[in-house]
Amino acid sequence: MLRKLLSAHRPRKDLTIDDLVHLAAEIIPQVAGRQDRHKVTAIPDSRTVRYYIHEGLVDRPHGTSGSSALYGYRHLLQLVAVKVRLGMKL
């Protein structure tokens, strides 16, 4: 199921952070468990994505277009993986 959700975005390398958040918001609820931890949101916002980048959970943007950072398929995969992992019971 996850492969089908993500496959259309495989060639993408032109995503802004808002695009990345929007795509993640469509995919994460279908594949991630419920976020039961305090202060962990079900859907990340741009601030959360920047935090994940700072912490090394998601790669840095691979380029820029004007003043906008650009992200791609790999970033989307990493973001979904982080949220799936946070939704798992330990």
Q: What is the pLDDT of residues 51-89, one digit of tens each?
A: 999 999 999 999 998 899 999 999 999 999 988 887 654
* CATH assignment, 2-86: 1.10.1660
Structure tokens at 53: 């980048």
Round the average pLDDT of the chain to a whole number and report it: 84
The domain spans of the chain are 2-86
64 sits in which H/E element: strand 63-65
Instruction: State how beta strands 63-65 and 68-70 pair.
Output: antiparallel
Query: Under a CB-based contact definition with an 8 Å cutoff, are residues 79 and 55 in contact?
Result: no
Gap between the Cα atoms of 71 and 76, Å rounded: 8
**What is the predicted pLDDT for the residue at 38?**
60
